């Protein structure tokens, strides 16, 4: 495991022995990234703070059951992503939508107007238009730069599915940003199995 993962494992041991400093060190090491993920997922600072708080409480409450098969950070981010799903669902946000069956061709005139526009729509708004499964894959892999294998563990899906979601998520994002005319997608989301 990495140095960070080793350090986290040692901190968890200290925390479980009642060392409050270990709690502070774990928070310091991970709070920014958890918050960044939550903010990108939820697009609302208040909601992201709430989700970040809930994530850490959940993780510390269950940390004695953390088996250490994966890095602590992987488990932490997985809890964060699931907390964001739950929160978005509770709030009835658009964030949690079923995966689309396919990408429909948009009106050609609208596309031309979009392509002609000098300024692109806001990236965050474009991200928000992605189905939640695609958005989380894009955020974890592209925004946070985590490896595919780690993303697969966080999202609880095979690596191939992560690849597919990142690919399609980027494509949808490019379309939303006005960089690509939508094309029928012959790939199924789970084509990698």
Partner 1 sequence: MARYDPDRIAALAAGSLDPAEAASLEAQLAADPRAAAELAAQRRALEAIRRAPAGLLSDAERTELRRAVAAALHLDAGPVTAAAPVSRRRVPWRPLAVAAAALAALVAAVPLFGLLSVGDDDAALTTVALAATTTAPADAFNTAPAEGGLQEFTAAIPEGDAPTLGGTAVTAGSVETRALDDAAKAVAGLLADPAALFLWEADGVLPCLEQARILLESPDPVGARIAREGGELVVWFLSADGSTVQRLVAFEPATCDFLAAYP
Long-range contacts of 12-18 (CB under 8 A, 24+ apart): 12/63, 12/66, 12/72, 15/60, 15/63, 16/63, 16/64
Q: How far is the CB of 61 from partner 1 (least distance, A)?
A: 5
Q: Which is nearer to partner 1, 5 or 163 (CB)?
A: 163
Q: How far is the CB of 110 from partner 1 (least distance, A)?
A: 15
Q: Which is nearer to partner 1, 54 or 97 (CB)?
A: 54
Q: How far is the CB of 154 from partner 1 (least distance, A)?
A: 17
* Residue count (the chain): 193
Q: How far is the CB of 89 from partner 1 (least distance, A)?
A: 18
H/E segment holding residue 168? helix 159-176
As a whole number of angstroms, the distance between CA 32 and CA 73 comes to 12
Q: How far is CA 102 from the centre of its chain?
A: 22
DSSP letter at 19 equals -
Q: How far is the CB of 98 from partner 1 (least distance, A)?
A: 21
| Chain residues in the site for partner 1 (CB under 8 A) | 15-16, 18-20, 23-24, 27, 31-32, 35-36, 39-40, 45-46, 48-50, 52-54, 56-57, 60-64, 117-120, 122-124, 126-127, 138, 142-143, 160, 163-164, 166-167, 169-171, 173-175, 177, 179-181, 183, 186-187, 192
With the C-alpha atoms ordered 99, 166, 162, 6, is the resulting torsion angle positive or negative?
Answer: negative
Q: Which is nearer to partner 1, 1 or 183 (CB)?
A: 183
């Amino acid at each position: 495991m990495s140095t960070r993962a080793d350090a986290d494992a040692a901190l968890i041991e200290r925390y479980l022995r009642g060392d409050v400093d270990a709690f502070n060190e774990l928070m310091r090491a991970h709070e920014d990234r958890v918050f960044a993920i939550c903010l990108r997922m939820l697009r609302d600072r208040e909601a992201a703070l709430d989700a970040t708080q809930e994530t850490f409480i959940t993780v510390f409450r269950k940390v004695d059951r953390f088996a250490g098969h994966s890095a602590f950070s992987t488990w932490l981010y997985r809890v964060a992503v699931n907390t964001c799903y739950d929160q978005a669902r509770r709030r009835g946000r658009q964030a949690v939508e079923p995966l689309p069956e396919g990408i429909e061709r948009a009106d050609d005139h609208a596309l031309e107007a979009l392509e002609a526009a000098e300024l692109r729509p806001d990236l965050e708004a474009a991200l928000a238009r992605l189905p939640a499964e695609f958005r989380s894959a894009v955020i974890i892999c592209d925004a946070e730069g985590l490896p595919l294998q780690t993303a697969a563990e966080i999202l609880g899906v095979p690596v191939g599915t992560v690849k597919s979601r990142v690919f399609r998520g980027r494509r949808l994002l490019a379309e939303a940003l006005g960089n690509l005319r939508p094309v029928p997608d012959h790939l199924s989301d789970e084509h990698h199995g």
